[in-house]
């Protein structure tokens, strides 16, 4: 095996590692986006219910 073959194998392994990292980060980002999309309608309700009563923030 020549050194050129060895360098090519190392380069392929490095490329595969970066591709795998990019795919994993993409899937993680997609899961975070979908999770936020599902939770978003309930965020305003949670904020509304967490406001202290009698603070003058409610509508008369």
Cα–Cα distance, 26 to 18 (Å, whole number): 12
| Over residues 7-22, mean pLDDT | 89
Cα–Cα distance, 13 to 49 (Å, whole number): 52
C-alpha separations of 43 from 30, 40, 50 in Å: 19, 5, 11
Contact 51, 57 (CB under 8 A): yes
| Over residues 4-11, mean pLDDT | 72
* % of residues, the chain, pLDDT over 90: 52
pTM as predicted: 0.59
């Amino acid at each position: 095996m020549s050194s050129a073959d060895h360098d090519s194998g190392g380069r392929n392994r490095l490329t595969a590692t970066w591709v795998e990292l990019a795919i994993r980060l993409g899937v993680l980002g997609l899961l975070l986006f979908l999770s936020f999309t599902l939770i978003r309608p309930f965020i305003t309700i949670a904020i509304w219910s967490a406001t202290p009563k009698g603070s003058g923030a409610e509508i008369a």
